[in-house]
A and B are shown apart, each in its own frame.
Chain A
């Protein structure tokens, strides 16, 4: 089966600019996650969707970050405006159901200068 697809692979922007990342989960997976992985740290959950509804966004900096999954399939994560500390790898993952293993994409590496 095809894995979780993410794009772009790399992105370099200046602070205060905006950026968007895209994720296409494994077909049929109802649950989708966005994680932020800062260099040298473990991934931190930003937001979890179940179909097109938000399950958990308690760690999403909502003043600058937003995410949507309008049709319950693809998802986009946006940062506006970006800060230097947003430099990280943004990982998308999906799972078939609650308590099923998560499958991760290769991530988007964001550098904010």
Chain B
């Protein structure tokens, strides 16, 4: 079956620090990969996506590259802000199995001023 594994949080950083949140996946087919963000009290929002190997998704200074050889989709940001504090979820859709989104367990990021 399909699964997504993320590094456990919380991740606590100072403002302007470099961020990496690791994500690896297992899929039977050729998945599309996503990062969703959940700010306090809000619903999940799509942050970025990549649909094939070597694609790079980017948005709001965040980036993630689809690495088929290592089955990874690590999230990075060069300089985090306090407003980036949220829970980040890595997810995949197996393109051979409809549109079902499989999520990782989430990683809480706390950025201190």
Category for how many chain B residues contact A: 20 to 34
The answer to whether A43 and B99 touch (CB under 8 A), given A104-B44, A104-B45, A107-B43, is no
Q: In this assembly, does A98 line the interface, its C-beta being within 8 Å of a C-beta of chain B?
A: yes
Bound Cα distance A33, B43 (Å): 14
| B42 and A55 contacting across the interface, CB-CB below 8 Å | no
Q: A101-B46, A102-B46 are in contact. Are A41 and B99 (CB under 8 A)?
A: no
Closest chain A CB from B91 CB (angstroms) = 8
A75 at the interface (CB under 8 A from B): no
Check: B89 CB closer than 8 A to any chain A CB.
yes
Say yes or no: is A106 at the interface (Cβ < 8 Å to chain B): yes
Q: Cβ of B46: which chain A residues have Cβ within 8 Å of it?
A: 101-103
Q: In the complex, are the beta carbons of B44 and A99 less than 8 A apart? A: no
Given known pairs A42-B4, A107-B43, the reply for A99 and B106 (CB within 8 Å) is no
Encode B35-51 as 1/0 by CB contact (under 8 A) with A: 01000011111100100
- State the CA gap A93–B102 with chains docked (Å): 13
Size category, A interface: 20 to 34
Q: Does B106 contact A95, Cβ atoms closer than 8 Å?
A: no
- Chain B: CB-nearest residue to A95: B99
State whether the Cβ of B98 lies closer than 8 Å to any Cβ in chain A: yes
How far, in whole Å, are A77 and B100 apart by their CA atoms in the complex? 18
Are A42 and B106 neighbours in the complex by a CB distance under 8 Å? yes
A87 within 8 A of B: no
- Known contacts A31-B99, A56-B98, A101-B49: does B104 contact A42 (CB below 8 Å)? yes
The 8 Å CB contact of A48, one of B41, B44, B45, B100, is B100
On whether the beta carbons of A41 and B42 are closer than 8 Å, the reply is no
A42-B89 contact in complex given A99-B95, A99-B99, C-beta closer than 8 Å: yes
Chain A positions within 8 Å of B, measured between CB atoms, are: 3-4, 31, 33, 40-45, 48, 55-56, 91, 93, 95, 98-107
9 more contacts with CB within 8 A, not counting A56-B100, A104-B36, are A3-B43, A31-B99, A40-B105, A42-B104, A42-B106, A43-B101, A99-B93, A102-B99, A103-B46
